[in-house]
Amino acid sequence: MTCRVFGPPVRSESGLGVCELCFNGATSEEVAACEMRPDPENLESTLVRELEMSSGLAGHTIVAFCLAS
């Protein structure tokens, strides 16, 4: 279930979330090297704000919705 929720290793407040099945036999260093940092420059909030101002729409977004439009 973890790999379906997290995909690649992602860090949260509770540590590095990782699917042990995907990284079976990997060292901690190898897992850490695969860590994904979603939006490290915090671009999403800026883009959402610009979209809200230009379209007048507001709310939660999802990647699939953005790709489909």
Best mean pLDDT range from 2-11, 23-32, 37-46, 56-65: 23-32
Q: How far apart, in whole angstroms, are the C-alpha atoms of residue 64 and residue 30?
A: 30
Q: Domain check: are 28 and 3 in the same one?
A: yes
pLDDT, position 29: 92
Q: Domain check: are 16 and 32 in the same one?
A: yes
Q: Domain check: are 9 and 34 in the same one?
A: yes
Q: How far apart, in whole angstroms, are the C-alpha atoms of residue 21 and residue 11?
A: 18
Q: Rounded to two decimals, what is the model's pTM?
A: 0.49
pLDDT of 31-59, one tens digit each?
Answer: 889 888 778 788 888 888 888 888 888 87
The whole domain housing 5 covers 1-38
DSSP bridge partners of 15: 12
- Interval 10-27 mean pLDDT: 82
Q: Domain check: are 56 and 45 in the same one?
A: yes
Q: Domain check: are 49 and 33 in the same one?
A: no
Q: Domain check: are 23 and 52 in the same one?
A: no
Torsion 12-8-3-62 (CA) sign = positive
